Structure 1
Amino acid sequence: MTPELPLHMQREGFGPVGELARVRDGEGMLRLDSPFGKPVYVVCRHEDVRQVLADPARFSSARTSFPGVDKLDPDERARLRAGQLIGFDPPEHTRLRKMLTGEFTARRMKRLEPRIAEIVESALDDLERAGPPADLVEHFALPVPSLVICELLGVPYADRAEFHERSSRLVDFSLPMEERAAAQREDRDYMASLVERAYAEPGEDMIGMLVREHGDDLSADELVGIAGLLLLAGHETTANMLGLGTLALLRHPEQLAMVRDDPARMEAAMEELLRWLSIVQTMPPRTTTAEVEIGGQILPEGSLVIVSLPAANRDPLFIDDPESLDVTRGAIGHFAFGHGVHHCLGAPLARMEMRIAFPALLRRFPGLALAEPYEKVAFRAFSAVYGVQSLSVTW
């Protein structure tokens, strides 16, 4: 039996459901019952979401526990948590993140640009051979970021089908907690084999770099956790941006034409697509460490807080006419990559992939169009990373 979709994950096409918008524009926050055994507060306003994400001292990631975790023995609990940057607060979060920051600078990403362009062109060749019609997700949106992150981390691309399947289970909230936990164990076992190989013979990839430069500072479990998190985040998010972003442009043909015909517009268009689509539904829940006020409401210590990134990114107090997609404005200040200490480490890489991939796709196929009615497009409703299951296109 499929569980009910939590309100903060409910969508109407590209945007959040109307109830979330009404909460945001009214009281700003909604109190709900949750499977955590205590109420959860869903924060929807842009300003309030910024407050939560900017203050890990009062809104803690590390103090948040999840159903079923207490049933694990302490050793397994520690192994599953090790290296998971998003589950820690400073200073532990700072210690882990600083070892990776240098690998994701804009300057370092710039060096990858020629290789990413090659990967994009190869995927476009595959898409062209497969159709028309062809599934854009299978032949383009998913392979591009998968190959990029595999090369960056030193993960065998031949294993992609296996880690795609595990990743889908990890972020699918329709599955029982036990099944998602099993996928996490399988994923850690796989990453552990790659880390063990890197210890024996560290290569020039990121896992090899971490072993060479930080092998004395990171435990094997931490290396496994870091590598697994980067692999999951590195392909799930960008793949869904490419798939859902293409659908959004196809639904706004005049804006698609602007992006296709004027490469200078891509920078602003990319930021607007990030804001308007908000594929990451929320950041991991936070727990208040003291009584705190948000938007005029008092939350007691120990409260669970979830932020709705799609609602916040469409807040009319943040941006004018938020429900409209306008690729000319470039919506700086959105939360598509989070905010604060947990701002997405891979944001420069994701931006570079989109900056290269979208124009290349539209140049190669100037007549790109849906090969199925929009009403039949299947969205990833239960996924923590929103997108489309597949996207049949023609040209």
Structure 2
Amino acid sequence: MTLAEFPMARAAGCPFDPPPALRETMEEGPLARVRLWDGSTPWLVTRHAEQRTVLGDPRVSADITRPGYPSSAPLPKGGTAISFILMDDPEHARLRRMVTAPFAIKRVAAMRPAVQKIVDDLIDELLAGPTPVDLVQAFALPVPSLVICELLGVPYADHDFFQDNSKVLINREVTPEQRQAAHGALLGYLDGLMGEKIAHPVDDLLSGLARRITAGEMTREEAAQMGVLLLLAGHETTANMIALGTLALLENPGQLALLRESDDPKLVASAVEELLRYLNITHSGRRRVALADIEVAGQVIRAGEGIILANDIANRDPEVFPDPDRLDLRRDARRHVAFGFGVHQCLGQPLARMELQVVYSTLYRRIPTLRLATDLEKIPFKHDGSVYGVYELPVAW
């Protein structure tokens, strides 16, 4: 039997929906074998319940260096493991614990007025400038970049450098050498910043890590790796959700009107969860490898076999989300797996939620006539990246 290649292609004209072949695979059952770029044949887990079961099982590993791990692209010889997200406990827990506090819900809530000011200032600049304008470069990318720079203690003046290298790191189609060079550049940059924070600590997250280095709790390299992870994850994912969410709403004017005309924080929060469910920017699946034989839905996954959890199709599972292909901002979408599940679920999700709530409740209210300045077919989507979104989004008003 010929196995389906993974990742699968989206249908032309349906940029917000998971690939049709992925849906067919889910309908056939919760588990299937697929073929990757290197000829390996890991298990693909499609349904919501089974994904949560696997992600919550301590017998599966997130360690990219283990034999059988289903990597999404060729790995450089030296590896580019980015801090704790590609580690298992106890190392994962030890490192993650060191940065949990800044992302706690109360801490993030205290940042909301500052994020609101960033959003308002950027919208002021949009309104004062010419149209059409690329919303990605003028708004979607600057918002989370400014926020994460402020939180970490990274100079925003360096945003072109870290954004350009981040793009290379998350592009599936670059060579291992290009990926290694981008990772090395970011690591060197963060290492230099760590040196400055060790010498002159202030009140930011990197200075907090610097104090842990001085206290002997972590190495300088561990801190720099963590800085790369937080800087990359802190701007790329949210930027893509801002742009792709805006495009999805422009294509669903009834839902956009609902959001624009409401000042109910509960509706805004609900809209964020629904857009996270509906769009799923992490579209290459979460990757794991089995450490022992485990049974899932009557099927035995053997020790050493790779596992891919396609969260985009799990978030369209009709058993959990009725009429899943409809964007419905009033839906209770809180059970989505856009941020993962289990011990590795996204550390920065309170920050991402807050930023998206501020953006989605402000942008369309302040620019009520916002519209797409080109045809949907002409929008360049990020089919080649491990994070889905649009390369540019021309808008006018």
Q: What TM-score bracket applies, with the shorter chain setting the length?
A: over 0.9
Cα 1:348–1:298 change in 2 (3 A) is same
Q: Structure 1: how far apart are the matches of 2:123 and 2:224? A: 33
Alpha-carbon offset, residue 258 of structure 1:
0.5
Residues 239-388 of structure 1 correspond to what in structure 2 (within 5 A)?
239-264=239-264, 265-282=267-284, 284-388=286-390
SS of the residue 1:100 aligns to: coil
The answer to whether the Cα contact below 8 Å between 1:281 and 1:309 also exists between their aligned partners in 2 is: yes
Partner of 1:61 in structure 2? 62
The answer to whether the Cα contact below 8 Å between 1:61 and 1:286 also exists between their aligned partners in 2 is: yes
Q: Structure 2: how far apart are the matches of 1:259 and 1:319? A: 21
- Identify the match of residue 50 of structure 1 among 12, 32, 52: 52
Alpha-carbon offset, residue 202 of structure 1:
1.2
SS of the residue 1:243 aligns to: helix
Alpha-carbon offset, residue 28 of structure 1:
2.2
- Higher alpha-carbon deviation: 356-365 or 4-13: 4-13
**TM-score for the superposition, normalised by structure 1:** 0.93
Partner of 2:119 in structure 1? 120
Residues 6-85 of structure 1 correspond to what in structure 2 (within 5 A)?
6-8=6-8, 10=10, 12-36=14-38, 38-55=40-57, 57-62=58-63, 63=66, 71-72=77-78, 77=79, 80-81=80-81, 84-85=83-84
Percent identical residues = 41
Q: Structure 1: how far apart are the matches of 2:262 and 2:76? A: 54
Q: Structure 1: how far apart are the matches of 2:314 and 2:252? A: 23
Alpha-carbon offset, residue 214 of structure 1:
5.6
The answer to whether the Cα contact below 8 Å between 2:8 and 2:21 also exists between their aligned partners in 1 is: no
- Higher alpha-carbon deviation: 187-196 or 139-148: 187-196
Cα 1:20–1:68 change in 2 (3 A) is closer
Residues 133-212 of structure 1 correspond to what in structure 2 (within 5 A)?
133-212=132-211
Q: Structure 2: how far apart are the matches of 1:5 and 1:221? A: 37
The answer to whether the Cα contact below 8 Å between 2:5 and 2:35 also exists between their aligned partners in 1 is: no
Q: Structure 1: how far apart are the matches of 2:62 and 2:30? A: 22
Letter of the aligned partner of 1:233 in structure 2? A
Alpha-carbon offset, residue 38 of structure 1:
3.1
Alpha-carbon offset, residue 33 of structure 1:
2.6
- Higher alpha-carbon deviation: 280-289 or 162-171: 280-289
Q: Structure 2: how far apart are the matches of 1:237 and 1:102? A: 21
Q: Structure 2: how far apart are the matches of 1:292 and 1:37? A: 23
The answer to whether the Cα contact below 8 Å between 1:5 and 1:382 also exists between their aligned partners in 2 is: no
- Higher alpha-carbon deviation: 285-294 or 160-169: 285-294
Cα 1:50–1:248 change in 2 (3 A) is same
Alpha-carbon offset, residue 144 of structure 1:
0.2
Q: Give aligned pairs, total.
A: 384
The answer to whether the Cα contact below 8 Å between 2:171 and 2:384 also exists between their aligned partners in 1 is: yes
Q: Structure 1: how far apart are the matches of 2:287 and 2:217? A: 28
Structure 2 gaps, min length 5 = none
Letter of the aligned partner of 1:235 in structure 2? H
The answer to whether the Cα contact below 8 Å between 2:237 and 2:387 also exists between their aligned partners in 1 is: yes
SS of the residue 2:136 aligns to: helix
The answer to whether the Cα contact below 8 Å between 2:55 and 2:341 also exists between their aligned partners in 1 is: yes
SS of the residue 1:32 aligns to: strand
Kindly indicate which of the two structures has a greater share of residues assigned to helix.
Answer: 1
Cα 1:390–1:69 change in 2 (3 A) is closer
SS of the residue 2:33 aligns to: strand
Q: Structure 1: how far apart are the matches of 2:183 and 2:286? A: 16
Residues 21-44 of structure 1, C-alpha deviations (whole Å, 9 max, x = no match): 111111222312324563222211
Residues 240-291 of structure 1, C-alpha deviations (whole Å, 9 max, x = no match): 0000000010001011000011121211111000000011124542110111
Q: Structure 2: how far apart are the matches of 1:42 and 1:5? A: 11
Residues 294-323 of structure 1, C-alpha deviations (whole Å, 9 max, x = no match): 222222110011111111100111110101
Letter of the aligned partner of 1:228 in structure 2? V
Alpha-carbon offset, residue 339 of structure 1:
0.8
Structure 1 gaps, min length 5 = none
Letter of the aligned partner of 2:25 in structure 1? V
